[in-house]
C-alpha cells in the first residue's frame, strides 16, 4: 500500500474565509511548487520578466510576464489585455497544464466549477517591490473568479472594500497559499506591502504570484 500525500489530496487544506467570496486555501499549492516554478521558468524563457510602465509614467516595482491566450499589459496608453507580447512581438506562451489544473481545482474548492482561465499574470517581487491598492477591472466577465497562487517568500496582502477608502485587512500570504476571489469581492481594492528580504529554499530572494483570470 502506498500513500500519495500531496496537498489537495489526502491532506485537507486549511480553509480561511477573509470575506464572502474570498477563500484562502493554505498550502494548497505547496506540493506543486517545484512544478509550478519550472513552468514559470519555461514561460519566462519565451516571454521574459519585464518592468512595465503605468499610464502615469511610473515603473511597476514587480517584474511581470504572462501566459495564456491573453496577457495583461500596461504602458503609457493604459491597462489592457493583449494577445501579443509587446516585448517579443509573438503570442504569449501557452498556459502550462500544471497551471490550468491547479487553477481549476482551487476554483472548484470555492464552488466555481469548470473554471478555464484564458490569462495568467505572473508577478515576481524582489525585496522592496510592492503593489499599491487597486481594482482588477480589465476583465470582461466579472462572474468568473480570480485564482491567486503565492510562491516563495511571504508577503503581507491588503484586502480592502469596493471603495478606495474602505480600510483594508492584512493577511500574510506564504508559499503554496491559494486564494479564490469570486462573487461580491471580485471588484474589491487589494494590494501587497513591500516585500522584505529573505531566502526561500525554492525561490531564493523572490516571491512569485500567479493570478488566473478569465479576461475575454
Residues in contact with ligand MD3 by the rule CB under 6 A:
121, 123, 131, 136, 146, 148, 179, 181, 185-186, 188, 190, 192, 209, 211
Residue 105 or residue 207: which is nearer to ligand MD3 going by CB? 207
Considering CB under 5 A, how many residues would be counted as binding Fe ion?
1
Q: At its nearest, how many Å lie between ligand MD3 and the CB of residue 37?
A: 16
What per-residue string of b and e applies to 81-112 under the rule 16 or more CB within 10 Å gives b? Answer: bbeebeeeeebbbebbeebbebbbbbbebbeb
Q: At its nearest, how many Å lie between ligand MD3 and the CB of residue 113?
A: 20
- Binding-site member from 85, 136, 139, 177 for Fe ion (CB under 5 A): 136
Q: At its nearest, how many Å lie between ligand MD3 and the CB of residue 21?
A: 9
Residue 100 or residue 174: which is nearer to ligand MD3 going by CB? 174
Residue 181 contacts which entry, ligand MD3, Fe ion, none (Cβ below 5-8 A, type-dependent): ligand MD3
Residue 104 or residue 185: which is nearer to ligand MD3 going by CB? 185
Name the grid cell of 48.
521574459
DSSP lists the bridge partners of residue 216 as none
Residue 9 or residue 116: which is nearer to ligand MD3 going by CB? 116
The Cα 104–Cα 68 span in angstroms is 14
Q: At its nearest, how many Å lie between ligand MD3 and the CB of residue 1?
A: 39
The Cα 22–Cα 188 span in angstroms is 10
Residue 186 contacts which entry, Fe ion, ligand MD3, none (Cβ below 5-8 A, type-dependent): ligand MD3
Residue 31 or residue 110: which is nearer to Fe ion going by CB? 110
The packing angle between helices 33-46 and 97-109, to 10°, is 130
What are the residues binding Fe ion (CB under 5 A)? 136
Amino acid at each position: 500500500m502506498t500513500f500519495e500525500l500531496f496537498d489537495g489530496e489526502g491532506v485537507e487544506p486549511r480553509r480561511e474565509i477573509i470575506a464572502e467570496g474570498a477563500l484562502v486555501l493554505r498550502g494548497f499549492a505547496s506540493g506543486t511548487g517545484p512544478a509550478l516554478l519550472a513552468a514559470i521558468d519555461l514561460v519566462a524563457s519565451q516571454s521574459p520578466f519585464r518592468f512595465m510602465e503605468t499610464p502615469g509614467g511610473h515603473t511597476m516595482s514587480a517584474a511581470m510576464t504572462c501566459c495564456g491566450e491573453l496577457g495583461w499589459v500596461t504602458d503609457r496608453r493604459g491597462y489592457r489585455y493583449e494577445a501579443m507580447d509587446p516585448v517579443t512581438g509573438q503570442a504569449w506562451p501557452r498556459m502550462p497544464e500544471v497551471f490550468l489544473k491547479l487553477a481549476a481545482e482551487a476554483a472548484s474548492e470555492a464552488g466555481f466549477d469548470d473554471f478555464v482561465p484564458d490569462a495568467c499574470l505572473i508577478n515576481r517581487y524582489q525585496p522592496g517591490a510592492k503593489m499599491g491598492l487597486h481594482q482588477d477591472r480589465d476583465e470582461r466577465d466579472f462572474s468568473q473568479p480570480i485564482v491567486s497562487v503565492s510562491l516563495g517568500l511571504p508577503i503581507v496582502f491588503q484586502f480592502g472594500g469596493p471603495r478606495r477608502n474602505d480600510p483594508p485587512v492584512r493577511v500574510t500570504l506564504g508559499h503554496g497559499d491559494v486564494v479564490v476571489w469570486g462573487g461580491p469581492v471580485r471588484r474589491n481594492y487589494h494590494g501587497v506591502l513591500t516585500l522584505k528580504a529573505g531566502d526561500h529554499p525554492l525561490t531564493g530572494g523572490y516571491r512569485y504570484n500567479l493570478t488566473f483570470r478569465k479576461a475575454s
